[in-house]
């Protein structure tokens, strides 16, 4: 995991970034007309279209995150005792970013050990010899 944060928070962050990016592109595109005149209109057109798509995308992500946050389990974090929302089998607390899991096999190990075991799993699976069933 690149961002050590709750999944819903990560979705919202991406939505916000895309909105800013889309608005920036639309503003830059419009500014192109002022600076380059006739040639700038092409730049403005591209900027407006790409900016609009980015903003539509961010709207979709926002909407999706909103839908997800209404359907996910709300639990009390065992670390900071605040109500947090959990997405999937493992997720981080929205407040203290502790790893939470409903998977019993992962419940007794620490954050670093979890990442280590996930690394080992992905490395071992393709090359491991056939195991007796």
The residues that touch Zn ion, with contacts defined as CB under 5 A, are 77, 79-80, 93, 95-96
Nearer to Zn ion, 55 or 92 (CB): 92
User: How near is the Cβ of 1 to Zn ion at its closest, in Å?
Assistant: 17
| Residue whose pair of structure tokens reads 């195991």 in the numeric block | 131
Nearer to Zn ion, 62 or 79 (CB): 79
User: How near is the Cβ of 9 to Zn ion at its closest, in Å?
Assistant: 12
Q: What six digits make up the tokens of 128? A: 């491991």
Nearer to Zn ion, 41 or 82 (CB): 82
DSSP string, 90-131: EEE-TTT--EEES-GGGTTS-HHHHHHHHHHHHHHHHHPPPP
């Amino acid at each position: 995991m690149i961002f050590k944060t709750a999944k819903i928070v990560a979705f919202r962050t991406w939505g916000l970034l895309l909105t800013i990016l889309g608005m920036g592109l639309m503003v830059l595109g419009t500014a192109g007309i002022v600076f380059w005149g006739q040639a700038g209109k092409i730049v403005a057109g591209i900027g407006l279209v790409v900016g609009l798509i980015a903003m539509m995308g961010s709207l979709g992500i926002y909407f999706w995150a909103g839908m997800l946050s209404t359907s996910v389990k709300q639990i009390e974090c065992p670390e900071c005792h605040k109500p947090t929302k959990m997405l999937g089998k493992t997720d981080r607390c929205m407040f203290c970013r502790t790893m939470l899991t409903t998977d019993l096999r992962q419940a007794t190990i620490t954050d670093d050990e979890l990442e280590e075991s996930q690394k080992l799993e992905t490395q071992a699976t393709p090359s491991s010899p056939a195991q007796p069933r």
